[in-house]
Structure formats: structure tokens, C-alpha cells
């Protein structure tokens, strides 16, 4: 019974990160804009973000199992929510609104709040922090790619 409960808790940590995947969006928009030479193929994003979301969920799950949700510091919950909202906003502002600038702002907000999430997680459980390493790197890459896309498409 404990295993089922733990699986359920992990799934609750994982599912929200995939919510924007159910929103119908025009992914072909990405192919219509000018891309820098270092833009990876579309398949890269599906694989990289899936792995990253799994790692984020593991980190959150480990912190929750140590502290229980009600005993987590408010600052951890706050930065997790802020990070989540920035992360999820990208699909909406970039692929639905086709707004390159807001896409960059979303990426930058995700990256900066990921750094705060990393630090906050580290203060709670150092071992859980290692699962956020892919998120830090991918959100940094996404920010660099996004600002480059914005610049080369607005000149």
C-alpha cells in the first residue's frame, strides 16, 4: 500500500508539468521563424523537456516525502509556483500568441526562478538538488535560444 501511495504522490508531482501539452497549439509556428544555427531539431525539445520534467518531479517528490507538503517552508512553495507558472506560460505566449518577446521573458523568468528553486531545494535537501541540474541547464539554453530568436526576427 505504501508503494502505491508513493507512486500516486510522484504522479501528482509529475502531471502538472505536462498540462500545457494538452492545449492545442500551432507548433509549426516554430518552423516559420528565423532560427539561429544552434537551434536543435524539434524532437530534441520533446525528449529534453520530458526528461527534465521527470527530474523536476523526482526532486519535488523527494522534498515532499521528507517534509510533507504542509510542513514545507512557504518560500519553497512560492518559488515552485512562480517557476511553474513561468515554465508553463511559454507554450501559451510563444505558440498561441506568437509573441517572441514574451517567449523570451517567459524563458528568462523560468531560468531565474529555476536558480532560486535550486537554491531553495538545496537548503531543504541537498540530494534532491541534483535532479534540478538538467532544468538549470535546459532553461539557460532555452533563454539563450529565445533571446537569439527574438533578436534575429525583429531586426
- The predicted model scores a pTM of 0.94
Q: What is the pLDDT of residues 112-146, one digit of tens each?
A: 999 999 999 999 999 999 999 999 999 999 999 99
The single residue listed with the C-alpha cell 507548433 is 27
How much is the average pLDDT of 99-121? 98
**Grid coordinates of 151:** 533578436
| Residue 77 to residue 57: CA distance in whole angstroms | 14
Q: Could you tell me the three cell numbers for 12?
A: 501528482
For residues 124 and 21, give the distance between their C-alpha atoms in angstroms, rounded to a whole number: 30
- Full set of structural domains in the chain with CATH: 2-22+39-154 (1.20.1260)
What whole-number distance in Å separates Cα of residue 131 and Cα of residue 89? 22
Provide the pLDDT for residue 151.
Answer: 98
Are the CB atoms for 87 and 21 separated by under 8 Å? Answer: no
pLDDT over 70 percentage in the chain? 100
Chain segment 20-45, per-residue pLDDT in tens: 989 888 888 999 999 999 999 989 99
Amino acid at each position: 500500500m505504501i508503494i502505491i501511495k508513493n507512486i500516486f504522490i510522484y504522479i501528482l508531482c509529475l502531471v502538472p508539468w505536462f498540462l500545457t501539452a494538452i492545449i492545442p497549439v500551432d507548433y509549426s509556428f516554430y518552423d516559420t521563424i528565423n532560427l539561429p544555427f544552434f537551434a536543435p531539431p524539434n524532437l530534441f525539445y520533446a525528449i529534453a523537456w520530458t526528461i527534465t520534467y521527470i527530474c523536476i518531479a523526482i526532486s519535488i517528490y523527494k522534498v515532499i516525502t521528507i517534509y510533507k507538503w504542509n510542513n514545507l517552508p512557504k518560500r519553497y512553495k512560492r518559488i515552485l509556483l512562480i517557476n511553474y507558472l513561468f515554465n508553463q506560460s511559454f507554450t501559451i505566449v510563444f505558440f498561441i500568441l506568437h509573441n517572441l518577446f514574451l517567449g523570451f521573458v517567459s524563458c528568462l523568468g523560468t531560468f531565474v526562478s529555476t536558480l532560486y528553486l535550486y537554491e531553495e531545494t538545496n537548503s531543504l535537501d541537498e540530494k534532491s538538488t541534483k535532479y534540478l541540474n538538467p532544468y538549470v541547464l535546459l532553461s539557460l539554453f532555452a533563454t539563450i535560444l529565445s533571446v537569439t530568436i527574438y533578436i534575429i526576427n525583429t531586426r
